[in-house]
Amino acid sequence: MDEFSFIDSIKQTYYRQSSLIKGIGDDAAVFRAQDLDLVTAKDMFVENVHFAKHTMQPFHIGYKALAANLSDLAAMGAKPLFYLVGISISDGWSATDINEIFQGMKELADTYKIDLIGGDTVSGNELVISITVIGHTNKVRYRSLAKEDDIIFVTGTLGDSQAGLHILNNGGTYVDKDYYVNRHQMPIPRIEFSQRLHNISRLALNDISDGIASEANEIAQASQLSIIIYEDKLPVHPSYNQFDTELQHKWKLFGGEDFELLGTVAKNDWDEVQQVARSLEVQITEIGYVSCDHPVGQVFLQRKNEKLQRLEKKGYNHLSR
Ligand code: ADP
Ligand code: MG
């Protein structure tokens, strides 16, 4: 298949976004921005760095690449509109594989009614996918917006994606095997949840791509406050305790790729956040609070009957058990 018939094959037959003026087919796409803030993000995925052929089918690779990008928009409080896909294709990938990668993206695009409006296609030494997403919002959820006494919450459960990867790499018998593998291959970006919080005047949000320790530190630093997290409140799936204790601890704090949202909100607005979560059947858990009484820009883990411990961005080795 040549480049041109390939582009024809991925081109949508119609576009859903009314603001789009020109999609695929010219030198660039054109859309008309209304009086809203445009939000854009990019995430790249490189074979054998971000994914491997033996743990992800082509469909999953495409799905997850777009999910990660949409998750960034969710963390900004933005509604997604468009995406563009740069792809470098290497020898080991057939036309069918590439088609399935785009089918994986299309699955999410259909769900959120967003349009593929451009990209670039080249050949290279490994498969690389670089997606740009564009969205809009009238209320941006910066990491810097946390305030003293805010509640810290997280959606869903933590550590599932790494548990799924562990299962895919090691085989064996596990309870809820399909659940964990699915969480690794097809994470759900929390777009709807983030959108439905639009009435809340102030929220700080960050999505969990690198692990909750890392994301909490980013909020603490950006907001120049400290964050306290109760270890025993961190939400995990009911069968999560089947894994090795060390691994459970490592994955839920430093695992990443769960693409859940970590947020802080004023106590007064916590009821509404919970109501939105309930109406969407999204699990939500209060896991700690924002404080002024500790060194700014730092995160602390409160473990049962122990003193506060510093939780570094990637501080697993520093944690004494
Ligand atoms: P140009 O040579 O002007 O850069 P291309 O031949 O690269 O144009 O692309 C032609 C059209 O196809 C453009 O609209 C471009 O955005 C689109 N396109 C190319 N590759 C992709 C891709 N991987 N995903 C989506 N659109 C693509
Ligand atoms: Mg080009």
Per-residue pLDDT for the chain (321 aa), expressed as one digit of tens each? 788 899 999 999 999 999 999 999 999 999 998 888 999 999 999 999 999 999 999 999 999 999 999 999 999 999 999 999 999 999 999 999 999 999 999 999 999 999 999 999 999 999 999 999 999 999 999 999 999 999 999 999 999 999 999 999 999 999 999 999 999 999 999 999 999 999 999 999 999 999 999 999 999 999 999 999 999 999 999 999 999 999 999 999 999 999 999 999 999 999 999 999 999 999 999 999 999 999 999 999 999 999 999 999 985 444 444
Q: What's the pLDDT score for residue 137? A: 96
For residue 173, the CA-to-ligand 1 centroid distance in Å is: 45
Break the chain into its structural domains and give their ranges.
3-137, 143-310
Please count the CA atoms within 13 angstroms of the CA of 226 that sit on its side-chain side.
17
Q: What's the pLDDT score for residue 318? A: 44
Domain boundaries 143-310, CATH class: alpha beta
Q: What's the pLDDT score for residue 266? A: 98
For residue 208, the CA-to-ligand 1 centroid distance in Å is: 31
27 CA closest ligand 1 atom index: 3
- Write the burial class of residue 183 (CB in 10 Å: 0-12 exposed, 13-18 middle, 19+ buried): buried
Non-local (6+) Cβ contacts of 33 within 8 A are 19, 136
Please name which ligand lies nearest the alpha carbon of 3. 1
User: Which residue CA neighbors atom 22 of ligand 1 most closely?
Assistant: 119
The residues whose Cβ lies within 5 A of ligand 2, an ion, are: 120
Q: Which residues pair with 283 in a beta bridge?
A: none
Non-local (6+) Cβ contacts of 74 within 8 A are 189, 190, 191, 193, 194, 205, 207, 261
For residue 246, the CA-to-ligand 2 centroid distance in Å is: 47
For residue 28, the CA-to-ligand 2 centroid distance in Å is: 9
Q: What's the pLDDT score for residue 1? A: 72
Please name the fold of domain 3-137. Answer: 60s Ribosomal Protein L30; Chain: A; (3.30.1330)
Q: What's the pLDDT score for residue 316? A: 44
